[in-house]
Amino acid sequence: MTYQQTIDYLFAQLPMFSKIGAAAYKANLDNTIALCNFLHQPQHKFKSIHIAGTNGKGSTSHMLAAILQQNGYKTGLYTSPHLKDFRERIKINGHEISEEFVIEFVQRTKLFSEKIQPSFFELTVAMAFDYFAQQQVDVAIIETGLGGRLDSTNVISPILSIITNIGYDHVNILGDSLEKIAAEKAGIIKPNIPVVIGEYLAETKNIFEQKAVSENAPIYFVQDEYKASNVAYTVDYLSLDITNTQHNITEQFKIRFKLLVPSKKYMHRFMCRKYFNGARF
């Protein structure tokens, strides 16, 4: 198959949430686990950071990937959905997965996929894991698709979990209250793995705390320790001051946005002038 034939096959043959809604959502991880078994457990062959939340998880994923890349780490990034090309979902150091790998992966897994009938998202997640494992990334940023507890990405054992915030999204699947939605997102909290909560509400903080305690996971609430001020932005950059409220220390940050237009395919790359120092994975 050509690349276009391969993409047409993925879109036509596999159920997609964007096309058929909840009918494409699998209320278990069986297919993802089966695919990972078939691929010899690629999700355990690289370090990862898992990101969930209602809003901001895509931006968080891209910026964190840029920070790690700037520090010299070979950094994988899995996000969804894509804007122009399927390959935008899977990147290493800002470069999209090759067309050749997409073709080869689909051909290699085709018979098995036809047997277990995965969703579009399930197969895409498995493809990302296999690609990151084969390319031997130092760390991969993995964004959830929908929810957390039963999201296809939730078979990894990350070094860090992040939940950006909670709002009303996909209430027909995740639940009709903030507490229920928070419980689903909190499903990415793993035993003994630290979790960072970007923003919480009165209805959700206790949900996160209870889950973290049950998993013996260190938990950090950003809004209790840091405050953003003097926020300014243009089409080129975002600048802001971050104050550590416990120590009354303020630092200035500037995040530069660079818009690349290769072959008429748009891709945002976030470049950070200031980044975390001393991180080791």
- How confident is the model at residue 28, as a pLDDT? 86
- Token pair 């938990």: residue: 219
Tell me what pLDDT residue 262 has: 43
**pTM for the predicted model, two decimal places:** 0.86
Average pLDDT, consecutive stretches of 10 residues, N- to C-terminus, the chain (281 residues): 93 62 67 98 98 94 95 97 93 98 97 93 96 98 94 97 92 89 96 97 95 98 93 87 92 75 38 36 36
**Cβ 196 vs Cβ 232: under 8 Å:** no
Q: Which of 49, 48, 56 is nearest to 228 (CA)?
A: 56
DSSP bridge partners of 227: 243
How many of the other CB atoms lie within 10 Å of CB of 153? 27
- What is the per-residue pLDDT for 271? 34
For 232, phi and psi rounded to 5 degrees?
A: -140, 145
> Mapping DSSP to helix (H, G, I), strand (E, B) and coil, where does residue 221 land?
strand
- pLDDT given for residue 281 in this prediction: 36
Domains of the chain plus CATH, in order, are 3-224 (3.40.1190.10)
Contact 118, 14 (CB under 8 A): yes
Question: So what's the pLDDT on residue 237?
Answer: 83
68-102 burial, b at 16+ Cβ within 10 Å, e below that, comes to bbbbebbbbbbbbeeeeebbbbbbbbbebbebebb
H or E stretch at 231:
strand 226-233
Of 157, 68, 82, 94, the C-alpha closest to 124 is: 82
Residue 234: predicted pLDDT? 87
Alpha-carbon distance of 17 to 7, in angstroms, equals 16
Alpha carbons within 13 angstroms on the beta-carbon side of residue 280 total: 1
d(CA 124, CA 259): 25
